[in-house]
Chain A
C-alpha cells in the first residue's frame, strides 16, 4: 500500500525555522495536506493544496512542494507550535487517503 514518509522528530529553538518533510511517490500528482495535533485534541488543518493556508492559521506556517517531497515550514517558531504534525495525501488514483507517520516538533 502507498506510504508517506516523515521524520519522527524535529527540534528547534524559539524563533528559529522548523522544516518538516514528507515524501511519497504520488506527491507529484496529488496534493498534500498538513495537520497539527496537540495532546488530547483533534487534528487541525494547517496547510492544504501543498501551500495554501486556511484562514486563522498564522502566516509563519508555509508549505512547498518539489517532486516527491513536500515541506511544511514554520518560521519564527513559538512555544505554542510544539505538536505532532501529519502530512496527508492520496494514492495516484486519488481515491485512497493516506497519512504520514507524524513528526513530533519540539520547541527547545
Chain B
C-alpha cells in the first residue's frame, strides 16, 4: 500500500542539527513532490518546503532559508530534511507528505510524523 515512513524521534541540543528521513513505498517515487510540514506543540501546521524527487528542484519557506536542506535518494525512494542551528522553538512534530505533480490533488498521503525535541 502507499505509505510514507519517517525516522524515529530525536532529542537534540540547541545549536545542533537534525536529519529526518521519509521513505516512500507503494507508488512511483518520482511522480510526486514531497512536502515537509511541522507542527509545534499546541500550534498549527507550518509549511517548510518542497522537493521534486525527479529532478531534485527545491523550494524552501522563507522562514527556514539558510537553515534547512532537503535532499533525496532515488535508489532508496527516500527524502531527507535536515534542519540546523536548532533552537527551542524548533521543538515540533515534523511531517512529510506527498503531492502529485500537476494534478492539484493535494497532500493525500502523510508520514506518521517525527517528534524532534530541542533541550539542553
Binding site for B on A (CB under 8 A): 1, 31, 33, 35, 37, 42-45, 47-49, 52, 54, 84, 86, 88, 95-102
Binding site for A on B (CB under 8 A): 35, 37, 44-47, 50, 59, 61-63, 95, 97, 104-108, 110-113
- 6 smallest A-B Cβ distances: which pairs? A48-B106, A33-B106, A102-B44, A42-B110, A99-B45, A97-B47
Main secondary structure of the interface of A (DSSP, over half): strand
Q: Which residues of B contact A43 (CB under 8 A)?
A: 37, 45, 95, 97, 107, 110
With A1-B62, A43-B95, A96-B59 known to touch, is A101 a contact of B108 (CB < 8 Å)?
no
Are A98 and B44 neighbours in the complex by a CB distance under 8 Å?
no
Known: A42-B110, A42-B111. 6 other contacts (CB 8 A): A1-B62, A43-B110, A48-B104, A49-B105, A100-B44, A101-B44
